[in-house]
Every structure is written in structure tokens, then in C-alpha cells.
């Protein structure tokens, strides 16, 4: 960080003499490091949905007000005609490789799945500043994920711990002995700053029932861990006649538990007559949370569109990004689908910020409240001809698209591909035009604002 950013702005008193009397004039140095000026601020946690300026100082939100003078900030960014929202939160993401072997193609590897995780910082491209790894790792593999990914990411990475100690894709997801509720809870208690919940997924989806695999084992052990550790459980679930979706959301899940992949093909979202299945409303009334978790196989327009039309919108919007879908999916893409389905902008933002923050019990995130980390998304809502696809290889035409223009994480500009915060090159300061000698410490850049 540059020295000028560390200094509390000095108030310089200038004594002037006028008409023979001493008058004190205050000339102020900049109050703020960064000022996003003229954007439409949507901050559902603070009920703000109007044009405001957002000021940042020392990595924290310093003010969200109308007409903050430009001369009060070291760097001013014109964000008029754009939306300014809290940094988005994607609570279903995959980083690291869980239990999958890095050398996954070696003949003696237990599983031959490509590791699920993708680079955490890719999410910054969508204005996301917090991702939650959805159970890629378990108790035996979490430390590796922490050391290899979480500790080095610019984006904030939290995690749901897989009830399977080895994690996902290591070939042990169908092994009940791996589902040790005590080991799971002990691990969560060891990393309370990073682990926000438990995840269960992919268990005994179609295999014939046998004595070694009770159908509810993964669900029951995950809930046991969540209860002991006092955290929510996220469920990836496959219903079968002996293990129904109604049983999951009406009997097994506790208030605050999260069903992800809600619009996947396997769930009875609609009744035969096209009406919304009342079990969803009933589950909601008892505190069950529904999450999108789009992924490579969990989003069908035939479920999502009629449900949205009947007022059932998932509580949180998330991607389930992993190596199997990152080329076509992003947080902005999933949010755009909900805008295209008629969900209003402020509601889409709510379900991508304050709602997920509350689901993972991190109310300090997903807001632009003064004093909180300056995690900010600058978004553009474009109108034109667009189309979106689902996992059933069907498409939907639309006239809106949301795209991130700039991402700020703890006050640092971490994504600004169109140079919103930058000067036109012809107008750059002299050192930009210099050719530094080897070892010259002067960076030949157009400004000194902290960027990554």
C-alpha cells in the first residue's frame, strides 16, 4: 500500500488576515482513497436503491451518500449509468481438488475424475468477492485446500466441509465409514473463520439398495455434524421412491439448512397441472432455504420459469462453478437468467448479496455498510438481444444481460478490464511514457492506486 493511503487526511489550518482580523480557513487533503461517483447503488441490507456515491478509505466503506465532492478522494471513478452493489457472494463454488488425485490419469489412481476445483479468483470477473467452496474437501483434505487455495486467493474463500472426510471425486463418496460426524464437527470447530457449514452430495443416487448403504446415511451424518458444530448443512440430493424430496425438505432438513440445485431435473417443483408443488412453500415456512447451484446439470428452465412466475424464487443465486462448466457459466450469467425470467434487479442483487451472507451466518458480508470491508461490484445492465441456455440443452431468448465492469475487494481494484478507473493513455502522467532501466523502482504506470 502506498504511503499516501496510510495517512489519515491532515487538516491544514491556514491563517489568513482579512480586513485586519484573523480568519481560520480549513484546506482539507482528500478524505477518501476511492470515490465511485454517480452510480445507482443497490444495497438491500441498508434499503438503498438510488443514485449515491460510495467512498472507500483504508480498505473499508467510508460513506454512501449523495453528492460527495470529487475533491475529497484520491481517485474518483465515474460509474454513472452503472449499478454499484455490495461484492457478490457465490455460495456454491468449487476450488481445490478434494480427494481427487492430482495425477488423476495414473493407472493406480483410486478415481479417474478430473479434480473439480477451478481457480478461486476467476469469480472476480463477475463482481463476486466471496465464494464458498461447496464441499470439495472434507476433514482429511481441508487443510490442503486451505494451504493451496484459500490462503493465497485474492477473493475471500469460505467453505462447506464435505461430510465425506476425503471430499469429492476421490472415489470415496459412497463409503459410509468416511462419513464421520464427529471428525467433521471437530474440523469445523478448528477453522471457524473459514468453514461455514457442512455439505453432502452424490450419495447412492441410483444404485440398488443394499445392507451396507442405508439410503439416508449421508444426509443423517451431515445433519449430525451440522447440529454438533452449530452450522447449516447444504444438500445436493437425488430423490428415489424410498427416499423422497418431500421427506428431505419437510422432515430431515432443519431451519436454515440449504437445498442447492433446486431447479434440477430430478425435483418435483411442479405438479402435473403445472402448479407450484405446495411442499416448497411448506418447507419455506419451516425455514428451509433454497439455492440455485446451477452447475453442469442442475438448472432446467421447465422448472425455473413456471416456478418464478408463481413467485417461487430461490433464496440465493449461485453457480456451482467447477472444471465441468466454467467455460459457459458465471455468476453474472446465472443472475442474468433470473433477470430474464422477470425477477427485478434489486431482488436479484438481494439474492446474490445479503441473502447468501445471512445463509452462511456472515451478516458483515454482502453489504455496503460504513466500516465494513470495501467489497464492491460495479455492474452494467445491458438491453438488447440475448439468449440463455439450461442444462437440458434448451434456450431462452431475453432482452437483458448483466455484466461486471469493475470489482473492488477490500478497497483494492481487482478487476477493471475496461479501465473504468484508468486514465486515457494519451493523458497519462510522464512516467507512463518512460522506459525504465533495469532495477528502476519507478513503476511506469499511469497511477499508483492499489490494484491486483
| Nearest to Zn ion of 88, 413 (CB atom) | 88
Q: How far is the CB of 188 from Zn ion (least distance, A)?
A: 18
**x/- map, 134-173, Zn ion, by CB under 5 A:** x---------------------------------------
Residues 6+ apart with CB under 8 A from 7: none
| Nearest to Zn ion of 134, 406 (CB atom) | 134
Instruction: Count residues near Zn ion (CB under 5 A).
Output: 2
3-state secondary structure 93-158: ECCCCCCCCCCCCCCCCCCCCCCCCCCHHHHHHHCEEEEEEEEEEECCCHHHHHHHCHHHCCCEEE
| Nearest to Zn ion of 90, 320 (CB atom) | 320
| Nearest to Zn ion of 133, 180 (CB atom) | 133
Q: How far is the CB of 4 from Zn ion (least distance, A)?
A: 43
> Among the candidate windows 27-35, 207-215, 318-326, 357-365, which touches Zn ion by CB under 5 A?
318-326
Q: How far is the CB of 373 from Zn ion (least distance, A)?
A: 26
Q: How far is the CB of 205 from Zn ion (least distance, A)?
A: 14
> Among the candidate windows 45-53, 97-105, 315-323, 383-391, which touches Zn ion by CB under 5 A?
315-323
Terminal alpha carbon distance of the chain? 11
| Nearest to Zn ion of 79, 118 (CB atom) | 118
Q: How far is the CB of 92 from Zn ion (least distance, A)?
A: 6
What CA–CA distance (Å, rounded) separates 97 from 109?
14
Neighbour-count burial for 212-246, b at 16+ CB within 10 Å, e otherwise:
eeeeebbbbbbbbbbebbebbbbbbbbeeeebebe
How far are the Cα atoms of 409, 411, 448 from residue 4, in angstroms, in the given order? 19, 14, 10
| Nearest to Zn ion of 127, 295 (CB atom) | 295
Q: How far is the CB of 50 from Zn ion (least distance, A)?
A: 36
Q: Which of 121, 180, 320, 416 binds Zn ion (CB under 5 A)?
A: 320
| Nearest to Zn ion of 320, 373 (CB atom) | 320
Taking CB positions, which residue lies at the least distance from Zn ion? 320
> Among the candidate windows 41-49, 56-64, 312-320, 365-373, which touches Zn ion by CB under 5 A?
312-320
**Which set of grid coordinates corresponds to residue 70?**
470529487
| Nearest to Zn ion of 320, 359 (CB atom) | 320
Q: Does 258 bind Zn ion (CB under 5 A)?
A: no
Strand partners of residue 380: 403
Using a 10 angstrom Cβ sphere, with 0-12 exposed, 13-18 middle and 19 or more buried, the burial of residue 324 is middle
Q: How many CA atoms lie within 13 A of 135 on its CB side?
A: 25
Q: How far is the CB of 431 from Zn ion (least distance, A)?
A: 46
Q: Is there a contact between 332 and 345 (Cβ–Cβ < 8 Å)? A: no
**x/- map, 101-140, Zn ion, by CB under 5 A:** ---------------------------------x------
Footprint of Zn ion (CB under 5 A): 134, 320
Amino acid at each position: 500500500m502506498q504511503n499516501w493511503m496510510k495517512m489519515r487526511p491532515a487538516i491544514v489550518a491556514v491563517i489568513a488576515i482579512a480586513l485586519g482580523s484573523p480568519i481560520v480557513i480549513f484546506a482539507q487533503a482528500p478524505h477518501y482513497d476511492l470515490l465511485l461517483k454517480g452510480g445507482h447503488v443497490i444495497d438491500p441490507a441498508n434499503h438503498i436503491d438510488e443514485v449515491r456515491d460510495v467512498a472507500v478509505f483504508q480498505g473499508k466503506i467510508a460513506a454512501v451518500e449523495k453528492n460527495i465532492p470529487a475533491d475529497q478522494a484520491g481517485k474518483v471513478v465515474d460509474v454513472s449509468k452503472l449499478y454499484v452493489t455490495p461484492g457478490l457472494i457465490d455460495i456454491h463454488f468449487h476450488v481445490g481438488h478434494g480427494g481427487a488425485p492430482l495425477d488423476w490419469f495414473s493407472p493406480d489412481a483410486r478415481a479417474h475424475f478430473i479434480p473439480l476445483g477451478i481457480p478461486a479468483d476467476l469469480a472476480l470477473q463477475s463482481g463476486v468477492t466471496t465464494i464458498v467452496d461447496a464441499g470439495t474437501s472434507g476433514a482429511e483434505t481441508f487443510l490442503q485446500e486451505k494451504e493451496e487455495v484459500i490462503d493465497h486467493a485474492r477473493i475471500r474463500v469460505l467453505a462447506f466441509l464435505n461430510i465425506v472426510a476425503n471430499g469429492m471425486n476421490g472415489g470415496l463418496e459412497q463409503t459410509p465409514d468416511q462419513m464421520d460426524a464427529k471428525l467433521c464437527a471437530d474440523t469445523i470447530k478448528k477453522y471457524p473463520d473459514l468453514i461455514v457449514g457442512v455439505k453432502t452430495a452424490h450419495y447412492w443416487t441410483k444404485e440398488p439398495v443394499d445392507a451396507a448403504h442405508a439410503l439416508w446415511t449421508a444426509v443423517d451424518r451431515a445433519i449430525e455434524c451440522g447440529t454438533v458444530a452449530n452450522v447449516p448443512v447444504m444438500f445436493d440430493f437425488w430423490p428415489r421412491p424410498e427416499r423422497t424430496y418431500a421427506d428431505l425438505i419437510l422432515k430431515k432438513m432443519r431451519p436454515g439448512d440449504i437445498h442447492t440445485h433446486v431447479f434440477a431435473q430430478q425435483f418435483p417443483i411442479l405438479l402435473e397441472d403445472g402448479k407450484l408443488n405446495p411442499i416448497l412453500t411448506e418447507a419455506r415456512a419451516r425455514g428451509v432455504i433454497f439455492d440455485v447451484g446451477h452447475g453442469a446439470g442442475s438448472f432446467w428452465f421447465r422448472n425455473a420459469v413456471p416456478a418464478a412466475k408463481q413467485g417461487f424464487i430461490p433464496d440465493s443465486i449461485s453457480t456451482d462453478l467447477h472444471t465441468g462448466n466454467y467455460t459457459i457459466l458465471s455468476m453474472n450469467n446465472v443472475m442474468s437468467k433470473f433477470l430474464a425470467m422477470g425477477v427485478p434487479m434489486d431482488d436479484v442483487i438481494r439474492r446474490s448479496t445479503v441473502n447468501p451472507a445471512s445463509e452462511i451466518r456472515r451478516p458483515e458480508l454482502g453489504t455496503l455498510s460504513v466500516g465494513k470491508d470495501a467489497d464492491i461490484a460495479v455492474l452494467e445492465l445491458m438491453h438488447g438481444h440475448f439468449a440463455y441456455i439450461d442444462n437440458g440443452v434448451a434456450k431462452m431468448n431475453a432482452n437483458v444481460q448483466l455484466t461486471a465492469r469493475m470489482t473492488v475487494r477490500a478497497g483494492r481494484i481487482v478487476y477493471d478490464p475496461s479501465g473504468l478507473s484508468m486514465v486515457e493513455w494519451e493523458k497519462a502522467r510522464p512516467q507512463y511514457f518512460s522506459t525504465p532501466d533495469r532495477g528502476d523502482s519507478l513503476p511506469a504506470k499511469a497511477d499508483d492506486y492499489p490494484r491486483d
